[in-house]
Structure 1
Amino acid sequence: MVSIIVAASRNNVIGKDNQLIWRLSADLQRFKKLTTGHTIIMGRKTFESIGKPLPNRNSIIITNQADYSVAGCLVVHSLEEALEKSKDQEEVFIIGGGSIYKTALSRVDKLYLTLVHHNFKGDTYFPQLNTADWEISDRKDCFPDDKNEYAYSFIDYKRK
């Protein structure tokens, strides 16, 4: 199974200047819980914003740079190559960025969305979902608290 995991604002912003705009402790915990023990696929810029391989995950980085390498990560040059290298996995998570999400959206089975109930200015966006292709399999709405500045919802989608 190939899944996307993403946190996006109401206006589909996912980042600015290669960084997350918000910090939601609950979202980071959910990301860790869902992806630990699995393969994660990301673009080079997303990897560089994280800065290191995430523990207890197999990291695949997609880049156009022929000589790019990172110790502890597999570097490939297309989404197709990344998916081929991880085809024996039970579930693979695509974790960003914007262009990788856009390329992958039509190919994934599941989408784990953290919807941040706020509009943000940014330069990286998650593609608009065609709701005719997806159905909600689970939803949890959450209010701001001392560790989460904004209201948010965890929404899991599966392809119809």
Structure 2
Amino acid sequence: MTPGGKRVVLVAAVAANGVIGNGADIPWRIPGEQKRFKELTWGHVLLMGRTTYDSIGRPLRGRTTVVLTRDPSWTADGVLVAHDLAEALALADGLQGDVMVAGGAQVYAAALAVADEQVISEVHLEPAGDVLYPAVDRGEWREVSREPAEGYDVVRWERRTTAS
């Protein structure tokens, strides 16, 4: 959760071998998967790293975009800029919706420790790629739903509490 109590949700498409990208590219095109991403993130804060933002090239409509970058001079029209995760989460507290973390690998790794939920499209491929989703201790997470789709499953994980 953010300091103000907003949920932090990691949203990713992850291949069977852990690959989420190859350079700035996603190494697959699966009909419907990006539509699900749009539906899931619509109306929320979309948190992403600068490289991920650059690969998209613009803010995504219907969401407030916060870009995380170490470059103190980086700006882009239509987005908010943060220079570390704590600053990004503090910015999100003043905005509508939950925090939907959309990559890349370094941002996922940093946000994993504060995430409440993960929504993972488990892609049934093993493509070559140099960008990997961070290792997750499955003992800290509980699978709450799995929805099969053509070429992937959408799996929701919630962080376990001491009571679960």
- Fold agreement, TM-score > 0.5: yes
Supply the distance in 2 between the matched residues of 1:136 and 1:26 (Cα, whole angstroms): 22
Report the equivalent of 2:119: 112
Report the equivalent of 1:148: none
Report the equivalent of 2:155: 155
| Number of positions where the alignment pairs a residue of Structure 1 with one of Structure 2 | 153
Q: CA deviation at 1:47?
A: 0.1
1:136 aligns with 2:135: no
Supply the distance in 1 between the matched residues of 2:133 and 2:149 (Cα, whole angstroms): 21
Give me the CA root mean square deviation.
1.0
Report the equivalent of 1:50: 56
Report the equivalent of 1:14: 20
Identical-residue share of aligned pairs (%): 33
Aligned amino acid, residue 134 of structure 1 = W
Q: CA deviation at 1:142?
A: 2.1
Supply the distance in 2 between the matched residues of 1:90 and 1:55 (Cα, whole angstroms): 14
Q: CA deviation at 1:25?
A: 2.3
Supply the distance in 2 between the matched residues of 1:71 and 1:138 (Cα, whole angstroms): 37
Supply the distance in 2 between the matched residues of 1:142 and 1:124 (Cα, whole angstroms): 24
Q: CA deviation at 1:90?
A: 3.9
Supply the distance in 2 between the matched residues of 1:90 and 1:96 (Cα, whole angstroms): 18
Runs of 5+ consecutive residues of structure 1 not aligned to the other structure: 144-150
Residue by residue over 1:26-65, the C-alpha shift from the partner in whole angstroms, topping out at 9 and shown as x without a partner, is 2101100011111100000000000100001100001111
Supply the distance in 2 between the matched residues of 1:142 and 1:58 (Cα, whole angstroms): 28
Report the equivalent of 1:127: 134
Residue by residue over 1:85-121, the C-alpha shift from the partner in whole angstroms, topping out at 9 and shown as x without a partner, is 1124441100000011011111100000000011111
Aligned amino acid, residue 29 of structure 1 = K
Give me the TM-score of the superposition, normalised by structure 2.
Answer: 0.90
Give me the TM-score of the superposition, normalised by structure 1.
Answer: 0.92
Which aligned segments of 4 or more residues in structure 1 are displaced greater than 2 angstroms? Answer: none
Runs of 5+ consecutive residues of structure 2 not aligned to the other structure: 1-6
